[in-house]
Structure 1
């Protein structure tokens, strides 16, 4: 167990101390909400296709429910027919609920060599899911902002976990004054601490604000947690999110 002190804003709220376990199989924090439990019901209730410029898929979501290859139960396969050939942005899904600051837990399993997906914070900033890549575009990198901590990857056919604390960009009078920031645990190992994010990468097909000033035109708009479909069999389960409000530019936990 790791203890984290999180500052919650608001006149009636004080700093709270929460216990948070990290890694595969982690249980939800008190006050968190489950967003993907491996069921068709939750997939349809809490997610939609991202309506980006390259959207090709039509509802209902064509991601499929499959048997968990490691444990009991079912999980969600992100391989959508509309994304065949690696057409990212054509069949990505995003939570209906939008967020600013949050703590999230995401578990994924890559079934084959080179398997590719991605986890997008606020539907803007990608935490990469890509087997075989150890660069700043590779596994568990805050894409193009940090190198891949590939050493923490459990490998093909095994479950992996991202534990994320994210603080959204801050604005004053419509101007960006504090960059977004994230701390990430990968399979229980802290791999990024207070990593600042300079822009949205990947262009308009990648996420919100990707087409604004080459991705540098970040806006003060909340966004959902997005999962990417790129024509690969990558499985997801046990995704939960807790809304936060971090008053200070510090996501370390």
Structure 2
């Protein structure tokens, strides 16, 4: 039986069992309920779930569970545009001809590497304007760390989720003319050292063909945990 916005305490307990696979669900359960609908496949326990977050310009959808459960949950999906996330080996349940990217979910146990004196937590979104077109979210809802030059960030990384159970590393970027100078590695090392003080798990999502980024993440202990599908539903957004 599919229920909407019910059994949410049970859903949270279900996700806590493996927080590196469910960090955004945990975050939305605790912080974004007004912007999110949770569809739960319930049969004396959770068989699967679908989350639809509508707090951004393009809705974000997360599907998890058995193949039959996700097929049933998809019957409740009616967004004209969205980005859907589901396990790569279940991508065949999506019958439309939309662009699909392979994504790696990588996870690591944070360690204390170093605190870089030039890496600062960003409190003003204008500082990120060289790197992002719409950086407000990265200041208002995320924790963003950056190396700043002449008042603007030239390399940054964000904790898109920061919970006791898990942090999510994302929005890692360096301004083009400052690449290949080790700046991203410095920011990530600082990030992991900050995460070490708050959680035992860090996860990230990276496109499977982004070999340079994957190599950098592996230096900080990240390993591939699962392959996911990123499905662009009537949108053209590069992961």
Q: Same fold (TM over 0.5)?
A: no
- When normalised by structure 1's length, the TM-score is 0.26
Using CA pairs below 8 Å that are at least 6 residues apart, which structure has the higher relative contact order?
Answer: 1
Structure with the higher fraction of residues in helix conformation: 2
TM-score (normalised: structure 2): 0.27
Q: Which has the larger radius of gyration?
A: 2
